[in-house]
């Protein structure tokens, strides 16, 4: 099994290295909006001392940590797989004795992360020099405590992303659906603003939704701002969502492949 992963890894790495110019553009995309929101909140925090108890530095550390967590938990399955389902090239993947998504696409995702990380580190260092965050609250324990959260965040976002991608078996408008999903994720995950700044209704909903595990919970855990019992409660909710996402994915995948082979695409 490990060997298979390794092979896929090598092929993927080589393939994606070809597109390093695209990669830079992707990084730019991914960079701009956090920096924009960060600037907005710094401006407000500086003009009135603090926002809802958050100082300018709290915002800087939040968004700079977000850049890394976002990169670790995000998922690009729809870009890898949806077109394969639509134009029928998935049938080639189905012939292989490995799971097309749980091996091939997963490795694709991870290879992409490894690659973007190489470009991300220098950019991140530059941003740290520009914004001068005070990271003194972070300890190795807090980082360690956040790791399961990051893993869960990626697990959930990968499985939900794959589930939505699998809707391509039934509809051609899978990209629109995914855009809708993406908007929800940005709102409820804390990508846009730290959740405590949100209206109460959204905060309350976010607590029980899977999205906060993708950004907010790991970030705040790293930054040591959440009490341990909150972290544990959120992890329990995250674990439940991971199970739900797994079941959803299994169901959609099985039905989808059945339909795919019935249509003979």
- Please tell me the distance from the alpha carbon of residue 37 to that of residue 193, in angstroms, as a whole number: 8
Name which of 66 and 145 has its Cβ closer to another protein.
Answer: 66
Per CB under 8 A, does 17 bind another protein?
Answer: no
Cα dist from 106 to 97, 100, 113, 260, whole Å: 15, 9, 11, 21
The only residue of 11, 35, 98, 138 in contact with another protein, by rule CB under 8 A? 35
Spatial neighbors of 144 by CB under 8 A, at least 6 apart, are none
Q: Count residues near another protein (CB under 8 A).
A: 32
Provide the mask over 38-67, with x wherever binding to another protein is found by CB under 8 A and - wherever it is not.
-xx--xx--xx--xx---------------
Give the Cα separation of 241 and 233 in Å (integer).
Answer: 13
Shortest spacing between CB 108 and another protein, in angstroms: 21
Q: Considering the rule CB under 8 A, would residue 140 count as an interface residue with another protein?
A: no
b/e burial code for range 47-66 (CB count within 10 A of at least 16 → b): eeeebeebebbbbbbbbbbb
Q: Using the rule CB under 8 A, is 183 a contact of another protein?
A: yes
Contacts of 241 (CB under 8 A, 6+ apart): 156, 210, 213
Residue among 151 and 186 whose Cβ is closer to another protein: 186
Q: Which is nearer to another protein, 138 or 186 (CB)?
A: 186
The binding site for another protein (CB under 8 A) comprises 21-22, 24-25, 28-29, 32-33, 35-36, 39-40, 43-44, 47-48, 51-52, 130-131, 173, 176, 179-180, 183, 186-187, 192-193, 197-199
């Amino acid at each position: 099994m490990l060997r298979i992963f390794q092979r896929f890894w090598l092929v993927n790495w080589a393939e994606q290295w070809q597109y390093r110019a695209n990669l830079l553009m992707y990084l730019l995309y991914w960079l701009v909006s956090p920096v924009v929101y960060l600037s907005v909140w710094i401006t407000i925090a500086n003009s009135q001392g603090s926002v809802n108890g958050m100082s300018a530095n709290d915002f800087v550390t939040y968004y700079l940590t977000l850049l890394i967590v976002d990169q670790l938990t995000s998922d690009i399955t729809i870009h890898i797989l949806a077109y394969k389902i639509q134009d029928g090239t998935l049938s080639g993947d189905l012939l292989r004795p490995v799971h097309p998504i749980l091996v091939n696409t997963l490795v694709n995702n991870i290879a992409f992360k490894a690659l973007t990380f190489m470009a991300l580190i220098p950019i991140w260092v530059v941003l740290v020099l520009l914004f001068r965050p005070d990271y003194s609250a972070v300890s190795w324990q807090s980082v360690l405590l956040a790791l399961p959260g990051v893993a869960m965040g990626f697990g959930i976002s990968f499985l939900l992303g794959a589930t939505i991608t699998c809707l391509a078996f039934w509809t051609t408008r899978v990209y629109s659906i995914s855009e809708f999903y993406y908007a929800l994720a940005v709102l409820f995950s804390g990508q846009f603003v730290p959740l405590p700044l949100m209206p109460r209704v959204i905060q309350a909903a976010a607590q029980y939704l899977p999205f906060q595990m993708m950004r907010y919970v790991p970030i705040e855990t790293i930054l040591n701002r959440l009490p341990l019992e909150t972290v544990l409660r959120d992890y329990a909710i995250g674990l439940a969502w991971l199970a739900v996402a797994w079941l959803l994915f299994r169901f959609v995948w099985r039905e989808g492949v059945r339909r795919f082979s019935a249509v003979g695409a």
